[in-house]
Amino acid sequence: MAFFTRPQSANAAIKIVRPSSGDDDQLRPSRKDSVQRQCRNIMIYGSCKFENKGCAYYHPPAPDAVSIAPRAESPSKGLSQSVNAPVFIPKVPAHIKTASTPPPSIATPPPPEPQYHHDNQQQQQQPEEYGEYPYPPVGDEEMEMHDINSNNFYADTPYDGYDPSTANPYFASATPFLRQPLNYHLYSSVIPSAFVNSITDTQFVPPSSELRTLLQSRGEDLHIAPAPGLNLPEELQGYHSLIPLENTNGASERRKFGNWTSTVYRAVNSIDGTVYCLRRIENYRLPHQAAFTAIETWAKLQHSGIISIHEAFTTHAFGDSSLVVAYAYHPKAQTLFDAHLKSAYGTRGAGGFQPIPERTLWSYIVQLAGTIKRVHDAGHVVRMIDVSKVLVTSKNRVRISSCGIFDVLLYDTPQDTHLLQQDDLTMFGRLLFALCTGNVMASSGGNFQKSLEVMGRLYSPEIKAVALFLVNKGGPHKSIGQLLEMISSKVAAEMGDALDAADTMENELMGELENARLVRLLCKFNFINERPEFAREPRWSETGDRYIVKLFRDYVFHQVDESGNPSVNLSHVLACLSKLDSGTDERIMLVSRDEQSCLVVSYKDIKACIESSFSELARAGSSTTAASGYR
């Protein structure tokens, strides 16, 4: 037991007494009075976990250690830890909770006021003092708890089951663990996969194969160049590249807008570069500039069922005085007439009419009813509920266009808002009759009874009841709110379909989220590899970090099968790039092309090599701004 004997120095033992008013440094022994060799754990790590477990070397107390009251159940051990613990300087200010009052049998000095240091240089040097960890080594129990919780990126609390009353007094002044934001490299499904697989075709979102084709066709439509020989103005109040969206060969082909002739164009705004839809009213002279106040009012009314208004102006660029109203442009949009009724009129009557599914028809009714209610609640009138003015912008998604134009055209005409809102309901009923029968004149005179028979044969009685409620004169108190009460169950079903569509679109977006980051990685690869001219060193890309990057490029893209044929495996490429972007600790073996060199490295090391090499190129490049854009 001679190995564990107490030191022979007179000052090696520490007498525990209540400190006097003098400097408490007198209570601590100095190193020069000790005859023992100082423990190397103190010199390297700052503390020794075997200090009270038999370590025979000298453990000097920290000069600025904060004295913390020991635990009641272990007085001697707690006091030893508080005296000999290394200096702990938190990075951010924290409120210190002192430990419970010690037993009266132990005299402990009152804890001094904690001193917080914010010197950046000292914070930067602190990780070097303790190796890889920014804080001093901790006990086995604390380290085990940290290892369990450090990889939990989704924990809502600092530690599961953490109780401050049972914490080690050594960590009384430590900064609590803050939950880090979600790491962008963690792939997770937004909604359960079973739910996604069950929804193959929602009410508003087409299948994945059709959705990609639809989005690509919309992007192509936005960049179509105008055909030559259209005889249209090259510039129109800041708009250019005009393309007609309707047939303009003859006056009979152009659609009427009340008593005026109207034409629709697609044009690009020179100021913001956005594509807009321009509706032109021919041969119209604006009576008062104040008529445009209606356009300003409609521009402030934003709703998902209304094509938003951008601006309105008059022009003589077409050779006459025309009114032009700019609306938001929805690529590949169709009117209800073109989507559902045009085929019937192209086959001699209603013989070629394909009945609209009742679920789709209810969707149209709910969407249009909600839009009309929003307009009526704002004190306006729609007056555009027609098969040629309601657009189908995506799958079963309808919006009302050309709003606000009648307010400008009939600015001088006295108007009763309540009566016009009743007319909106009547127009809504006529639209419903037309969609159910395939005839735009279904609700007129002699066609009314026949239309009711067709509706009763093709659709449920609820559809027929809604149509009759809208076209009949129910008195001055009939409102769109009463219609919504009648179809409340259909509104709930529509809400469920809309939520399913949102989940499906979010899941589709999740699959495309990582593309931009992978492209940036590929750009860095191409910047680093095969650059023999850099720094006048022909083998710059063959040495140091660049050599590892080159070998990893071969590992990702130049794989071969057992027969020596090229292996084109996109899954392997995406998996490797994703692991590289996250910097995982997984190790891979990189082999040179001549099979004379073999390196075992982790994705974390490869990522560091890429960042180092790219940073070197960015600093040496002539355009620092262009290089930093790829980081």
Convert the pLDDT of each residue in 454-507 to its tens digit. 999 999 999 999 999 999 987 778 899 999 999 999 999 999 999 988 888 888
CA 155 → CA 143, 171, 191, 584, distances in Å?
A: 18, 21, 19, 20
Which residue type is seen at 112?
Answer: P
- Given a cut of 90, whether residue 53 has pLDDT beyond it is no
Nearest to 410 by CA among 306, 320, 294, 300: 294
Q: Please give the mean pLDDT across all residues of the chain.
A: 75
Chain CA centroid to CA 167, Å: 39
Nearest to 139 by CA among 40, 37, 45, 38: 45
Average pLDDT over residues 192-209: 59
Nearest to 266 by CA among 218, 215, 216, 319: 218
Q: Are 48 and 39 in contact (CB under 8 A)?
A: yes
- Given a cut of 60, whether residue 15 has pLDDT beyond it is no
Mark the binding-site residues for ATP, compressed into ranges.
279, 388-389
Q: Are 319 and 302 in contact (CB under 8 A)?
A: no
Dist. CA 344–CA 377, nearest whole Å: 36
CB atoms inside a 10 Å sphere around CB 150: 12
The predicted-structure confidence for 154-176, as pLDDT tens digits, reads as follows 344 344 444 545 545 444 444 44
Helix (H) / strand (E) element for 465: namely helix 461-471
Q: What are phi and psi of 233, to 5 degrees?
A: -60, 140
Q: What is the pLDDT of residue 193?
A: 53
DSSP bridge pairs for 236: 239
Kindly state the tokens that stand for 54: 């038999």
Kindly state the tokens that stand for 36: 């023992």
Kindly state the tokens that stand for 240: 């250019």
- SS3 label, residue 628: helix
620 falls in which pLDDT band (50, 70, 90)? confident
26 falls in which pLDDT band (50, 70, 90)? very low
Q: Are 308 and 326 in contact (CB under 8 A)?
A: no
Mark the binding-site residues, compressed into ranges.
279, 388-389
Kindly state the tokens that stand for 534: 């850099």
Dist. CA 406–CA 372, nearest whole Å: 16
- Given a cut of 80, whether residue 242 has pLDDT beyond it is yes
Helix (H) / strand (E) element for 241: namely strand 239-244
Burial of 190 (0-12, 13-18, 19+ CB in 10 A): middle
Chain CA centroid to CA 203, Å: 24
Q: What is the pLDDT of residue 16?
A: 52
CB atoms inside a 10 Å sphere around CB 43: 9
Using left for φ > 0, alpha for ψ between -120 and 50, and beta otherwise, residue 233 falls in beta
The predicted-structure confidence for 276-332, as pLDDT tens digits, reads as follows 999 999 989 888 889 999 999 999 999 999 999 999 999 999 999 999 999 999 999
Q: What share of the chain is helix, strand, coil (3-state, %, to 5)?
A: 45, 10, 45
Dist. CA 29–CA 31, nearest whole Å: 7
Nearest to 108 by CA among 190, 212, 18, 45: 18
For 411-459, give the DSSP string.
Answer: TTS---HHHHHHHHHHHHHHHHHHHHHS-TTTTSGGGHHHHHHHHHHHS
Dist. CA 62–CA 47, nearest whole Å: 10
Q: What is the pLDDT of residue 215?
A: 84
Dist. CA 387–CA 356, nearest whole Å: 14
Dist. CA 343–CA 556, nearest whole Å: 53
| Lowest-confidence pick of 265-279, 371-385, 602-616 | 602-616
| Lowest-confidence pick of 12-21, 218-227, 350-359 | 12-21
Q: What is the pLDDT of residue 443?
A: 83
Q: Are 410 and 294 in contact (CB under 8 A)?
A: no
* Helices and strands counted in the chain (H then E): 21, 12
Angle formed by the axes of helices 570-582 and 515-528, nearest 10°? 90
Per the listing, tokens 């009114």 go with 323
Residue bearing the bigger pLDDT, 186 or 524:
524
